[in-house]
């Protein structure tokens, strides 16, 4: 029967596993074998992974794939992608090859500003608070010099701080709203350290200069980065869209309509954007960045005008088909897992050790390519034909198909529609 425990973090990894197995897993021998079979035989490497997080009991593997043939601003890339979903890497690769033959992807970093806030409550007069802020602002910045010195040497640091009144949203609520440039670092620790120093100085000075107390609620960076923007796009003459019997004009119009539907219909926009994030998250994860932060910021951006909408856009103008994405991406190529995880180092090497700005562009392209591949399927053959063929191997593995069975069934479904029931039927037929 499951139970609680005190001092779990102090147990050795073996003791943690034994406790989990005995209290929460019914088939103890099989469960323990499953947990331990994912240990790395290189003890030094295993210890490194154990220390990434707390209470580690094993490693959880995701496949690391590569999508080749991406031409971005004239340079050819093979893009590493860490993801468990079948057909994503294949779709990205297919889109990359399609656009490689039509001029490739063009990208631009629009801005790289990141944001942090000190949230506080103040019940006095707003005019007095604003006057106080104006007086104390230079000291707020001066008191962070020990934190910002190294970042400033590299050309980054605090860009500005301002007082924001939020009392219309919540009584007595104000913010110190700060903007930062963190260069190749994602910069979370740097930003949060600056914010906490702002709060400390602000409160100390307020106790001297203000009649009413400042109540600091919290100091934290924001994962919503609408001023850390990158744009990626593709374009070509409509007739250049011709491919494998597809009428280019019909395809272009249908494709643009599909994008417009995602712009106006939130139910479609969510799935549309999820497909974009298939590409984005896979590269973000492979390069040791925080895909949860990226997801949160991106979806907030998709709702910035008060309605959730498509992240990509398309137009047909003067015989030219254009398709683009403009997206907020706060990424880093130094610090964190980028310098610790061996496969992250490999992924960054594959990309030519990009700067944070370059990585923003690569990631945006992966999202645009993924969306192009999905919409191309949806508006022509349908999404399931390609997806189910890629999913076929997962179904076969669920039934422990042998190598001979796999070869036979894969050959069968080269000319037949893949469905779960059809695959099961074919397996049963072979095994009779």
Q: Give me the active site residues, please.
A: 85, 274, 290, 387
DSSP code at position 333: S
Strand order in the sheet with 157-165: 157-165, 173-181, 114-122, 214-221
Give the count of beta carbons closer than 10 Å to the beta carbon of residue 402.
12
Among 269, 285, 241, residue whose Cα is nearest residue 102:
241
Cα distance between residue 103 and residue 411, in whole Å: 35
Among 155, 151, 201, 213, residue whose Cα is nearest residue 176:
201
Residue 73, SS3 per DSSP: coil
Task: Identify whether the C-beta of residue 194 lies closer than 8 Å to the C-beta of residue 177.
Answer: no
- What are the backbone dihedrals phi and psi of residue 79, each rounded to the nearest 5 degrees, phi first? -100, 120
- What are the backbone dihedrals phi and psi of residue 123, each rounded to the nearest 5 degrees, phi first? -100, 0
Cα distance between residue 172 and residue 54, in whole Å: 38
Tokens of 371: 């969306």
Query: Between the CA atoms of 378, 383, 385 and 391, what dihedral angle is there, to the nearest 10 degrees?
Result: 160
Cα distance between residue 423 and residue 409, in whole Å: 8
CA 192-305-126 angle, 5° bins: 55
Cα distance between residue 50 and residue 301, in whole Å: 35
Give the count of beta carbons closer than 10 Å to the beta carbon of residue 9.
8
Residue 115, SS3 per DSSP: strand
Please state the separation of Cα 386 from the chain's center in Å.
24
Task: Identify whether the C-beta of residue 155 lies closer than 8 Å to the C-beta of residue 183.
Answer: yes
Cα distance between residue 269 and residue 369, in whole Å: 17
Give the count of beta carbons closer than 10 Å to the beta carbon of residue 305.
8
Task: Give the relative orientation of helices 248-264 and 356-378 as an angle to the nearest 10 degrees.
Answer: 110
Tokens of 40: 């790395």
DSSP code at position 7: S
């Amino acid at each position: 029967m499951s139970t609680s425990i005190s001092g779990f973090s102090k147990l050795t990894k073996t003791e943690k596993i034994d406790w989990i197995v005995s209290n929460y897993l019914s088939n103890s021998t099989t469960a323990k074998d499953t947990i331990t079979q994912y240990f790395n035989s290189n003890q030094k490497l295993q210890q490194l992974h154990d220390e990434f997080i707390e209470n580690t009991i094993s490693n959880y593997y995701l496949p690391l794939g590569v999508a080749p043939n991406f031409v971005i601003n004239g340079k050819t890339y093979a893009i590493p992608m860490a993801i468990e979903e079948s057909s994503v890497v294949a779709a990205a690769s297919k889109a990359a090859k399609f656009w490689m033959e039509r001029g490739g992807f063009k990208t631009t970093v629009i801005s790289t500003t990141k944001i942090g806030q000190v949230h506080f409550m103040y019940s006095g007069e707003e005019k007095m608070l604003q006057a106080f802020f104006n007086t104390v602002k230079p000291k707020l910045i001066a008191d962070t010099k020990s934190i910002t010195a190294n970042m400033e040497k590299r050309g980054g640091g605090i860009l500005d701080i301002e007082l924001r009144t939020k009392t219309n949203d919540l009584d007595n609520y104000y913010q110190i709203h700060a903007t930062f440039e963190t260069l190749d670092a994602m910069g979370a620790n740097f930003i949060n350290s600056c914010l906490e120093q702002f709060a400390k100085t602000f409160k100390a000075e307020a106790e001297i200069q203000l009649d009413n107390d400042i109540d600091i609620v919290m100091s934290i960076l924001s994962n919503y980065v609408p001023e850390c923007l990158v744009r990626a796009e593709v374009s070509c003459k409509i007739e250049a869209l011709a491919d494998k019997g597809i009428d280019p004009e019909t395809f272009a119009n249908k494709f643009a309509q599909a994008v417009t539907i995602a712009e106006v219909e939130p139910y479609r926009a969510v799935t549309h954007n999820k497909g974009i994030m298939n590409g984005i998250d896979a590269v973000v994860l492979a390069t040791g960045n925080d895909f949860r932060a990226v997801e949160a910021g991106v979806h907030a951006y998709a709702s910035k005008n008060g309605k959730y909408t498509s992240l990509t856009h398309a137009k047909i103008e003067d015989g030219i088909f254009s398709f683009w994405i403009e997206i907020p991406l706060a990424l880093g190529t130094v610090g964190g897992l980028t310098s610790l995880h061996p496969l992250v180092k490999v992924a960054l090497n594959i990309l030519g050790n990009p700067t944070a700005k370059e990585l923003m562009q690569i990631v945006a392209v992966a999202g645009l390519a993924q969306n192009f591949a999905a919409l191309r399927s949806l508006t022509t053959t349908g999404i399931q034909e390609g997806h189910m063929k890629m999913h076929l191997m997962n179904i076969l593995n669920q039934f422990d198909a042998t190598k001979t069975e796999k070869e036979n069934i894969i050959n069968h479904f080269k000319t037949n529609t893949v469905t779960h029931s059809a695959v099961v039927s074919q397996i049963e037929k072979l095994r009779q």
